[in-house]
Amino acid sequence: MVLLAELVPLAGVMVVAIVAVLSYVSRVKTQVGLFFLYFAFIMMITMLIGASVYLYSPSDTTLGVAVGVNMAAMIAALSYFFSTAESLTRRVVLRDFVLGTVAALVVLNEGLMGTTFGLAQFGTSPFSTPFEGFLSSVNSYWFFYPMMAEMLSLYLILERRGVRLGAAYALVGATAFPPTAFDLTQWRLVTPFLTLMVCGLGLLLSKGVWRGVYAAVAASAMMTFFTEVPYDLAIAVAMGYFYFYALSAEFGLSPKPLVKQHPNAQGH
């Protein structure tokens, strides 16, 4: 098993890579750019899958599988690229479907980080069945805190570009206190109430879909006293919606403002 101090720099590299790709999304103008956007995420995903396979059962065979998964994905993607290179020069406008898939790929990446880094740090015992493996992956600080760092980084990058995401920071705050990240009695007793407070702020300052997101995260956080699964699903969907909303806002596609506006405010 690998020490925490050895894993943290690797996780940091992954976070920087994902933030760099997310900040590049608004620069995509052609299908070539769109190809490489997907290519970057797919290669990170296959790398994590391959590493997880090897860490679950280290051997020459699984090492070959890990390398093979990455090589097969790379060859398939580059073969497609070179066979359709001429048509990929056409301009493209990113719409909801593309931004939604990008958001889903980010969340999937982080879930696989929870799996890979969890296997590296704790071994295979928390991953004895597929369901336990799922719970161990999404209830891991390797899932929550890299995701929080990416969300905060994207929030600050877009603010610097003049894109206002309003009360989305409340969700970033909620991911700072995931009730399921640590198996400590005091943590599990206190953090659902901290999440409830932060989501309450989000409810007060937001409207539309975001109110439902904050309500779901708050309610499911309180349910962690009994079961973790509703919270796992709610926070994963909330994170995905954060990325979708943030990227849509940069393109001017976001359908509704996040922060409530006074009816007599200028321009309304």
| pLDDT of the residue at 252 | 66
105 pLDDT tier (thresholds 50, 70, 90)? very high
Residue 137 lies in a domain: yes
Query: Can you give the residue range of the structural domain that contains 233?
Result: 4-28+94-250
Residue 220 lies in a domain: yes
Residue 223 lies in a domain: yes
In this prediction the pTM is: 0.87
Residue 199 lies in a domain: yes
Residue 30's SS3 state is: strand
| pLDDT of the residue at 253 | 52
| pLDDT of the residue at 28 | 85
Please check whether residue 254 is in contact with residue 166, taking contact to mean a CB–CB distance below 8 angstroms: no
Q: For the chain, what percent of residues have pLDDT higher than 70? A: 92
Overall domain count for the chain: 1
Q: What is the mean pLDDT of the chain?
A: 86
User: Over 80: is that where the pLDDT of 86 sits?
Assistant: no
Write the pLDDT tens digit of every residue in 135-184.
999 999 999 999 999 999 999 999 888 888 878 889 998 988 899 999 89
**Mean pLDDT throughout 9-23?**
91
Residues 6+ apart with CB under 8 A from 172: 148, 151, 152, 155, 242
Residue 130 lies in a domain: yes
Q: What angle do CA 189, 106, 42 make, to 5 degrees?
A: 140
User: Over 60: is that where the pLDDT of 97 sits?
Assistant: yes
Residue 111 lies in a domain: yes
Residue 66 lies in a domain: no
Residue 34 lies in a domain: no
Residue 142's SS3 state is: helix
196 pLDDT tier (thresholds 50, 70, 90)? very high
User: Over 50: is that where the pLDDT of 257 sits?
Assistant: no
3-class secondary structure for 216-265?
HHHHHHHHCCCCCHHHHHHHHHHHHHHHHHHHHHHCCCCCCCCECCCCCC
User: Over 80: is that where the pLDDT of 210 sits?
Assistant: yes
